[in-house]
Every structure is written in C-alpha cells, then in structure tokens.
Amino acid sequence: MADEMRPGNDPDNNNEERKPFMTQKIVGRRDSKMRTLRMIGRSMLAGVAFSLAAVVVAVIAVPRVQARFGPVVSSGETTVTLGRDESTPSAEESGPSGESGENTGADSTGESGSEGTSPAETTAPEETVPVGEIVKAEIETWPFGMPEVLKLSYGLRGVADTADLSVVTIEQVREGQDWFDNELRTSGLYSGVVIAKTDSEILILASGNAVSGADRLVVDFGKGLKSDASVKRPDTASGLAVLTVPVTDENREKTEGVTPLELGNSYRLRRGDILIAVGAPLGMVHSADYGVIGGVSPISVTDGAATLFHTKSAGNASAGTWMLDTEGRLVGWVTDVFSDQNTKHTVVLGVSEFKAILEHMINGQASPLIGVRGSAVSQEMQEQEIPAGLYITRITRDSPAYNAGLQPGDIITRVGDTEIRTMRDYTAEVEKLHAEDSVRFVVMRTGRDENEYAELEFMLNVGAR
C-alpha cells in the first residue's frame, strides 16, 4: 500500500514530475532577459563615456588667445582708427603626421596558467566586475569631470550672450507698386554687429545682402530702441557694408548702453580652436552656435590675401553670421563666396586682412582698387629663372589693372618706387593709395620664348572698391 502511494508509482502524478523542468525553463527565460538588459545598459554607459571623453578632449584643446585689438575713436573729428595685426599670417599648422600613439591603455594581462590549461579556462567570467563600476572608475581618473564640462558650456554661453548685446536686427524695406498701382511693401530681417561708436554716430557691420536694393533700413537695437540707418560705405569685393545710425539728443540716453564689439586677431587662430557664431547662424537673428576649426587655408583675393577657416558650426552668410573667439572678439564672418552647394561645412573669412578696408568703410572712404589676384614667386620658381615679384593669376574685368593692359602671367616687380617681392609688400603699397590716384606699375612679361622676360611699365588710375 505504501508503494502505491509513492509518486513514481502513481500514473496520474506526471504533472508533479514536470514541475522542476518547467521552473528551470521559466528561470532560464528570466536570466536571458536580465542578460539582455545588462547588455543594453553596458551599451548606454559606453556611449555616455565616449561622448564625455570627446567633450573633455575639446576642453583640453581650447587655447587662450592673448592679443587684444579694438576700435579706437580719435579725439576731435569722428575718424575711427583700427589697429593692425602685426603677426605674420601662416598657413594651417599641420599636426605631426604619421604619429602612431602607443597603446597606453590596459595591457594584455591574460597570464596562462599551468601548462595544458586552455585560454578559455583562464578567462575571467564576463560578469565578474559590473560594467557600471568600471566606467565610474575610469571617469574618476580623468582630470576633467562633469563640473569642468559644465563650466566650459556656461563660459561659451556667457561669451555668446555678452556679444549678443552688440548684435542688432536690420529690417530691409522695399517699396513698390503692384499691377493695379497699389502700394506694395516687402521687408526682410538681417543681423548686424556694432563695431564702432562716436559721439555722433553708431557704426554697424552688415552683409551686402542686407542693403542691396533697400529703399529703407531700420535698425533695432533692442530694449525699445529703433532708428533709421543709412549706408556709410559698401564693399562689394568682400560682400560687406557699414551702416550708420545718428546719435541725436533724442536717442542719446538710450544709445549709451550700445557697446561696440571688439575686433580680434584672426592671424592667431589655429586648427582646433573654438569659434562662437552669433548674429543669424540659424537664419534667425539673435541665434548662436559653436564649432571647432577643422581646417585653415590661405587664399588669394582681390588686391591681397586672406585666410579661410573651415568649421562645422552653423552659419548663414546671407542673413549675417559673425564669428568670435573664446574671448568674445570678432575674428571673422561667414562667407559663401568661396564655397559651393557641395560644401558640407561653414567657411569663415578672417578679419585681420580686412582691417584696413573696414577702417576706410567706417570713415566713409573708398578703399583703393587695382583688380589683381596673385601670389609671390617662390624661391624654387626663381631658381628656374622666373623673376621675383607678384605673379598675377587673375585680373578683375573693368578694373584699373584690366583697363591699363595688365594680363594674367605678368609679374609685378614694382609699385611706384617700391620693389615688390611678396604679397605683403604689395598690399602695404596698395593701402597707401587713394581712389583716383595715378601710380606706376612695373611688370615682367614673357615673350615668345618662355624663358625671356621683358620689362614693361603701366600707369594705372586707382579705382574704388
């Protein structure tokens, strides 16, 4: 009778025998879910750690630019003088190529056990140390933690907010009539930045698009201060214009808080530096963005040289985007003259090469125009019996150089009585000229034999930009 009561002998007790198996299956599913959740958690922690590491690297790469340049108002007349940047512009500083960093991370410490022991037997279990604790321990070893990262973020935001006080909204008004002679008024909004101020006027740098075809310009300084503006001087070659807003007895009290933005030194910018975009980088005025300089390239422009900085920061050249260094100084502006639709980054034109032109524009003067682009004849080219000087690569149509008969391929060796050997020599002489001046150019031109050069003289009537 006792044997009949045993579960093993009861044919109806099969469900009781399956219970241990079903329990193991349920537990197995639960463990599988837990492993999946742990894997997802490790992936999320690894992503956070990677992002934080990238931010920390950016913090370490931020340099401190030391030079300070800004607009100075002379006493007496309202003439504004801008300081020149004496540092020699240099091309992009390439980092050491081919550096293969040694692996300074965790060493391979998998020591084999006794002979005959397979690697699988000596490998530590995957779940021995929780991944969260490993990530936490690694973060604690970094010299910069989250407080430092937040401090950098707040610092950049503070620079942008301070500079935004010098940003103005420019309303371009166009008036006309429709087909039925009804008055038609259209307007567009652009950004400008205050770069100088005198007792009688406020001077604003704007994009050429902001003033092109405008019947009226209205500048909004914020805080209830609006005023009509007029164009002080445009510069079509650089795509810029300077506006003037008069300071009168009626608005003098409100304009006391208007502060010009200090001009910086773009010669000292290097790859890896952070740029702060203000104005309308996102297409709307008073927006802002940040970006790291990814490339630096010197280029030839009309009657001089310039430096382009390439960054992933947002930028809108038409609406006006102004680039600052980390000290809040204006070091350039976004341009689309040297980019195309295939360009995936923002192109910034450095300010240092244009300070002489900006000074003329601020004072309502015309900058001199010759109309040539070129580059200095290198030492290697001189060793091939090519004369030293400035090699002309392009002539602007209808410019003084074009009308005088200069041609691409000519080598400028003298302007006036000054010998020309470099682009800096040439730009220094051009800056001394004034519109409607007459100046002698001496060039070397090849004949039928490419190795023979003839010296030619031309008299140019200096034009205006």
Q: Where are the domains of the chain?
A: 17-61, 266-354, 368-464
- The residue to which tokens 């940047």 are assigned: 85
Fold of 266-354: Thrombin, subunit H (2.40.10)
Domain 368-464 adopts which CATH fold? Answer: Pdz3 Domain (2.30.42)
Has residue 63 got a pLDDT over 60? no
Checking if the pLDDT of 27 tops 60, the result is no
pLDDT in tens, 141-159: 766 667 777 888 888 999 9
Instruction: State the Cα–Cα distance between residues 399 and 460, nearest whole angstrom.
Output: 10
* Residues facing residue 279 across a β-bridge: 321
Give the residues across from 395 on adjacent strands. 372
Comparison of pLDDT for 76 and 198, the residue scoring more: 198
Residue-level pLDDT at 54: 53
- Do the domains spanning 266-354 and 368-464 agree at the CATH topology level? no
HSE-up of 430 (CA within 13 Å, CB side)?
31
What global pTM score does this model have?
A: 0.69
Q: Mean pLDDT, the chain, as a whole number? A: 80
Cα–Cα distance, 278 to 35 (Å, whole number): 48
